[in-house]
Structure 1
Amino acid sequence: LLKAHFNTNEILTSLMLVYIAQLFLDWLIRGAWRDPKGFNFPVSRDFAPEAVLPAIWEESGRAHWAFIFAIVAAIGVWFMLRYTLKGFEVVVLGQSERAGRFAGFSSKKMIWFSFLFSGALAGLAGICEVSGSIGHLQPAISPGYGFSAIIVAFLGRLNPLGIIASGLVLALTYLGGEAAQLSIGVSDKVTRVFQGLLLFFVLSCDTLIYYKIRIIWSRVKGGAA
């Protein structure tokens, strides 16, 4: 609504709405949804077995069906963007809103479609994390997956298939960070720093690829350079 009708920046509004969602979840967990048998800890009741995502196979450890859901969703989005008219509209309006208007595409309708569709995928990721890894609701669910998704998207070159590969790379940084905390006692912030450096290097390489840095010396009157 804010982007389509008031042309606000979707990144800033999304980041600010994250705090609203977190505080709303915190209010639920500490209020109506608190487990009365949870020894006064702010958690909900454990989910019923029917509401918990099972492991892919018994020896897979923490790997559950959310991994399969993510692969299927990425392939489905890739197919939509590449082989359907709606995907063509998304690509055209994303690259040039003016060209999309000339083609007869509605930018407002596409904003609604894209945001609702991506929000649904984010909701799927959230419920998979809660029902697959945690098993109940609690105030802190994500250690920053939403912000890491920005890095995943850029590393994958905004291609759903490339995002599968970049997501696996970022997953290794999380697992490696946990192992480093246990083995050598480093802070968990080291993982965030490494992920930020990855994004910084990717954006820097793009800048050097698309732009050439040139030093131009100009002569002025009086012989000074």
Structure 2
Amino acid sequence: AEFLLDWLVRGPWRDPFGFNMPQTVTFAREATLAPLIAGGRLTVGALIALAVVAAGALVMAKTLKGFEIRLVGEAPRAARFAGFDDRRLTLTVFAVSGALAGVAGVIEAAGTVRQLLPGFSPGYGFTAIIVAFLGRLNPVGCLIAGVFLAVTFIGGENAQIILRLPLDATRVIQGLLLFYVLACDTLILHRLRLVRERPA
């Protein structure tokens, strides 16, 4: 998808009046998302995200399909023994996840950037993995983790300007968060014991 976007903004979709810069024309006002607060960057995309989180939490907690998804994720063999088609369900979840990622991209492009650029995503895909781990694969937890990591992104941008820190410092912090979460899971699931050798 990134290569396709790069080809489009450098080729057929390039702004003819953009001084040969790899970018599209600025979207028309009718094609952008309205801000919730005048002069702010928060758009109705935030409401769409909240609706998706609510729908995801409802599906995962109250429906049979949500039970199937949790069972396939936690115990694939048990899901197969129960008669669930784990391959079909996995492909369905991948398709829905990809569609939601596309919606998120549209919200970002039409709400904040308002045009397409080659470096449109500063590593959102890898950040989503950290969000999923921090949120414990729970829709509401992922929302909280996403807001927390968004703060680190904004703080990283301010640190670049004020403290002149490199952008990689933000990624290091996010990587440390993931490392500590995985380390905590390991220590919780596998109790470490110190065994002393008994004298002969």
CA RMSD in angstroms comes to: 1.5
Structure 2 unaligned runs (5+)? Answer: none
**Structure 2 residue aligned with 1:53:** 33
Distance 2:68 2:191 in 1: 32
The question of 1:28 aligning with 2:26 is answered no
What is the aligned partner in structure 2 of residue 131 from structure 1? 110
Deviation at 1:216, TM superposition (A): 3.1
Q: Does 1:73 align with 2:17?
A: no
Q: Is residue 2:58 matched to residue 1:94?
A: no
Q: What is the match of residue 204 of structure 1?
A: 183
TM-score, normalising length from structure 1?
0.84
The corresponding residue for 2:127 is 148
> Take 2:126 and 2:96, find their aligned partners in 1: how far apart are those partners?
18
Number of aligned residues: 200
Any idea what the Cα deviations from partners look like across 1:86-106, whole Å, max 9, x if unmatched? 111111111111111122111
| Deviating 4+ runs (over 6 angstroms) | none
- The partner residue of 2:159 within 165, 180, 183 is 180
Give distance in 2, aligned partners of 1:84 and 1:50. Answer: 37
Q: TM-score, normalised by structure 2?
A: 0.94
Give ranges in structure 1 of 5+ residues lacking alignment: 1-20
Distance 1:93 1:213 in 2: 29
2:41 to 58, 62, 66: 62
Give the 3-state SS of the residue equivalent to 1:58 in structure 2.
coil
Distance apart, 1:217 and its partner CA: 4.6
Q: Which residue of 2 aligns with 1:110?
A: 89
Q: Secondary structure at the match of 1:89?
A: helix
Q: Of residues 145, 151, 154 in structure 2, which corresponds to 1:166? A: 145
Amino acid corresponding to residue 72 of structure 2 in structure 1: L
Query: In 1, distance between residues paired with 2:77 and 2:55?
Result: 27
* Structure 1 counterpart SS, 2:195: coil
How many angstroms does 1:215 deviate by? 3.5
Q: Distance in 2 between matches of 1:159 and 1:23?
A: 31
Q: Which amino acid aligns with 2:15?
A: D
